[in-house]
Amino acid sequence: MRYVSPNLRLLFSPPLRPTLSVPLFISKPNPKPFSFSTILASSSSKRPRSFSNLSRRSNSTFKDRKGGGRDMTMEETTGQSKDSSSSFGLNKRRAEGRDKSDRPKKNPQLKERKLNPTNTIAYVQILGTGMDTQDTSPSVLLFFDKQRFIFNAGEGLQRFCTEHKVKLSKIDHIFLSRVCSETAGGLPGLLLTLAGMGEEGYSVKIWGPSDLNFLVGAMKSFIPHATMVHTQSFGQSPISDAAENVTAPIKASDPIVLVKDEVVKISAILLQPHCLQQSQIKPGEMSVLYICELPELMGKFDPKKAAALGLKAGPKYSELQHGKSVKSDRLDIMVHPADVMDPPVPGPIVILVDCPTESHLQELLSIECLNGYYTDVSSHLTESTKMVNCVIHLSPASVVSSPNYQKWMKKFGSAQHIMAGHGKKTLEVPILKSSARVTSRLNYLCPQFFPASGFLSLQHLNYSTSDDISSSEGPTLKICESIPAENLLKFTLRPYAQLGLDRSHIPTPMGQSQVVDELHLEIPEIADAAQHVREFWQELKESREVLPTSNDNGVMIGEPWLTEDTLPGCLENIRRDDLEIVLLGTGSSQPSKYRNVSSVYINLFSKGSLLLDCGEGTLGQLKRRYGVDGADKAIRNLKCVWISHIHADHHTGLARVLALRRDLLKGVPHEPLLVIGPRQLKRYLDAYQRLEDLDMQFLDCRSTTKASWDTFVRDGASNNDGSSPQSPRHSNAKNESMQEINQTLFAKGSRMQSYLWQPGSPVDHSAAYPFLKSLKKMLGEAGLEALISFPVVHCPQAFGIVLEAAERVNSVGKVIPGWKIVYSGDTRPCPELVDACRGATVLIHEATFEDGLVDEAIARNHSTTKEAIEVGNSAGAYRIVLTHFSQRYPKIPVFDETHMHKTCIAFDMMSINIADLPVLPKVLPYLKLLFRNEVAVDESDDILDALVL
C-alpha cells in the first residue's frame, strides 16, 4: 500500500479519540507573537518529502524495536495497521511479557564463508570507540576479502559503525582482550540488532579468556537470543556448561590457536596478574595478547626461467606453481619450484596486546613463546624467527610509558607500533562527527540550553603520544618509535606492495568556526535568530521582578497555574546551582548517528547527582558534556541510579558507569552505589558481578512506590519489621475481576492501566528496609523530599519516577515549596502517570511516535507527541520535555505547534537549568528554524545499511 503522510492522513481521518479518560487540562496558548515571526512562519511551513524517503519510511516501522520486541516481523507490523484488534492484542501481550511466546523461535547460525586464499585485500583498522571519551577500549577490525574479525566491542561500537558506514554483517568472530564492561559493553546492543536481522537472524562467535558463561548469563535477562550466542572460552577457567572451551596448552603462557584456515591463523596468549593464585583471579582480570598471522604467498611464476630449463608450456607449469618438482621436457634435469618462482611473499603478522596493569606487565615480560617474534639487533635471528609488521597497543598510557614496556616494544625491531590506548590527542577529535556537528549548531543558536562540549579545543592536533611518554620519563629513556591511533587509521597487509600505514580514511577535523560558517551560508537569518534567543534571558531577568507567583496567605504553594505569566511557587528566587537536567540520550531502540539511547542526568551540583536510566554510551555522553575530568567528578558524586525497565536501551550502560565509579573511589571510604530498578535487572547485575565487582546495592522499584514508602514510614514509627500480614500487597485498586480487566484494560480509548496492578506480584517489604533507610538518608543529603516509583504501561515491571525537592525558607522566612520532576520512562498514557504528574514543575515524557502513528504507538505501548502533551496538560505540569524519539526522526521529530506552548523537544546534551524554565517553550520555534532544511529520513535504514551485506 502506498505510504500516506501522517499529516495528510489527519486531514481525511476522524479525530483521534483521546486515550485518557480523565478531563484534559486546557491551557491558554501564548498570545504574544514572536518578534521573529516572519522568519519562523516560513520555517514552519510544511515541506514535501522526497518519494525515496517516503518509501523508506513506509518500510521501516518494523525496525523501531526495543528489548524483546526487536524480532517483530514486517508482516506483523504492517498487519497491525490493517487490523486494529490484532494491534491491541499485541499491546496486551507486550504488557504481560508474552509478545514473543506465540511466534516461531529464531535460531541464528554462524555463516559459512567461501574463503579467498589469495586475499587480494587485507588490513587492520582502528575503530574509534572510546578514543575521544576514554570510556571504553577501542575496537580493531581485521579485514579480509570474504571474512571479518573484530577485537573488543565496547560501548558505542554499533553507533560508530553506523556513523562511518563500517559493515558488521560479515563479522563472524568477536575477540575480547578482557571480559569486562570496558571491552564488551557494546555487545548487548549489537547482538540484539544482529539477531533481529532477516527471518533467521544473524549470529557471531564470541571469544574471550576465562568463562564467557558469566557474560552470556548476564545478558539472558533482557536479550531473548542470548541463548543462541556462540561463546568460546579459552585458558584455565571455571567449569561452564554454556560456553565451549578450547583445550588449554601445556603451559598457561603458551599460544592457544583459536582460528586456523587458509586465510589467517589467530592465536591467544593469556596474561594474568603476576603472583596471584588462579583461584583469586576474577574473569575480568584475565587479559589476552592476540597474534594474527597471514600465510606466506608463493612468488610469481616466471615462464622465461621455465623455458630456459627446457619446459614446455602446459600442466607442468601448474604443478610447479603448486609446489611440485617436475622433469624437464628437453633437458635431463629435475626442475624445482624455487628454480622458476620468485621468492615467496612472507605472511604479515599483527599483534594486539592489552596489558592493563604493571602486574600484567611482569607476566608479559616473562613469556618465552614470544621469543620467536623478537627481531631486535640483540636477538639471535634464526630461520624460524617471524617478522612482526604491526603491534597495536591497547594498554593504557600509564603502562606503556614504563621503561620495561618500552624495552619490550623494541624487541620487535622495525615493526610499526600503533598506540590505541587512551591518550590526550584522541580527546580532541570527536568520533561521532554528525552528532558533534548538530551539537555545535545548537550551541551557536542557544548556548544556554546547549553548552559547549567539555572537551578541549582543536588546538593540539600535532600532539604525539611519544612526546608525552618522554616528558614523563626524562631524557635518558630512548622511546620506541610509535604513532597514536586515529579514527579509522589502517595498516595495509595485502597487497604486499602497499604494506604499511594508510591514513586516507581518517576523517578531517571540523572545528566550531567551520560549522558556524556553514550554518550562516545555509540559513542566513540564523544570526538574527540567535540574537533573539539571547534576548529571552534578558527579558526573563526583567520579568522576575513583576511576574506574580501563586500564593496562599503568604505561604508559597505548588498548585497548577492558570496563565503563562504565572510562575510556580517553587521558582521564586531559584538559584542556578539548585538543579540542572541534562538529556544525555533522547533516542529509542538503539544508538544512532544523532541521538543516543535513554539517559537523563539530574545534576544537583554540590548536593550530588542522579541518573534516570542508563542506556549504552551514557558514560561517553557524560564525558562529551563535561569533559573527562568533569565526568569523573560527576560519577564520583552519583547518589543513585534509577532504571525504568529492563529493555536494553535503558540500562546496558550501567555496568560501565558502576565499574568506573569503583575505580575512581578505590581506596576512598564510600558506600556502594544504590541502583533502583525492576527486579529482572538484579539478575543481570548479579551475573555481571561475577565478571567484575560493580560496588553496588540493589533496590526493587516496587519497594519505592508510594504504598511501599507509606508502609516503611508506618512500620518505622511502630518499630515493626514489615513482615506482618497487614503489610500491603499490590492489588487492583477497584477490585475488578481478572476477566473485567482483560476486557477493558487494552481496549482502544480505555484507561491504560498498569498490568502491575493486577492481583499478585507481592513485595517483600522487610527485605528492602535497610536499603530504604540508606535511600532516605541519601535523599536528605541531596536536598530531596521524595523519590517515588510508579507503574506504567509498557512491559512487565515498567516504571516512571517522581523526584521532589525539599521545601526552602527564603530570607524573610517564607516557606517555598520544592520543585517536582516526573520522568515517564516508556509508557502509554495511563492514570498512574497522570496522578504522578499533578502539579509537576517538569514532566519528561517519552514521545516515540508522531500523532499520525497512534495505532503503532498503541501496539508498541509507547506514546505519541500529542498524547504526551495531553498527559502534562491534564495534570497541570508547568513544563513538558519530550524525548525518546523513533529513528524516523533523526534530528527533529514531527509535531504540531498548536499545542506546544509549554513544551520543548529534547536533544542530546540539552542542559535545562531550573532557573531557565520560563524560557524553555519560546526556544522551540527557533530550533525548528535550525532544522528547516532537513529532510526526514528514517535513520534505522542507516543502521541496517551498516550491518547488512
What residue segments make up the domains of the chain, in order of their start? 122-235+251-295+348-373+385-419, 303-339
Rounded Cα distance, 154 and 139, in Å: 7
**Highest mean pLDDT pick, 49-53, 146-150, 540-544:** 146-150
Q: What is the pLDDT of residue 574?
A: 92
Collapsing DSSP states into helix, strand and coil, what is residue 390? Answer: strand
Mean pLDDT of 56-70: 36
Give the DSSP H/E element, type plus range, for residue 122: strand 122-127
pLDDT of 580 above 90:
yes
User: What rounded mean pLDDT belongs to the chain?
Assistant: 78
Residue 360 is which amino acid? H
DSSP 948: -
Instruction: Write out pLDDT tens, residues 7-48.
Output: 333 333 343 333 333 333 333 344 443 344 444 444 444 443
Instruction: Write out pLDDT tens, residues 495-534.
Output: 988 999 999 998 887 788 889 999 999 999 999 999 999 9
Q: What is the pLDDT of residue 253?
A: 62
Is residue 838 very low, low, confident or very high in pLDDT (cuts 50, 70, 90)? very high
Tell me which of 85-99, 118-132, 273-287 is least confident: 85-99
Alpha helix stretches (DSSP H) within 13-129: 37-43, 51-58, 74-82, 84-96
Rounded Cα distance, 162 and 486, in Å: 18
Mean pLDDT of 587-601: 93
Rounded Cα distance, 948 and 942, in Å: 10
Tell me which of 32-41, 451-460, 681-690, 801-810 is least confident: 32-41
Tell me which of 174-178, 181-185, 731-735 is least confident: 731-735
Residue 455: CB atoms within 10 A of its CB come to: 20
Q: Which has more confidence, 946 or 710? A: 710
Chain centroid to CA 587: 10
Is residue 471 very low, low, confident or very high in pLDDT (cuts 50, 70, 90)? very low
Whose cell is 544523532? That residue is 594
pLDDT of 928 above 60:
yes
Query: Which whole-number Å values give the CA distances from 387 to 135, 238, 374, 375, 419, in the listed order?
Result: 33, 36, 8, 7, 19
Is-contact 177 288, C-beta < 8 A?
yes
What class does CATH assign to 122-235+251-295+348-373+385-419? alpha beta
Is residue 277 very low, low, confident or very high in pLDDT (cuts 50, 70, 90)? low
pLDDT of 944 above 60:
no
pLDDT of 200 above 80:
no
Q: What is the pLDDT of residue 63?
A: 38
Is residue 380 very low, low, confident or very high in pLDDT (cuts 50, 70, 90)? low
Rounded Cα distance, 301 and 763, in Å: 78
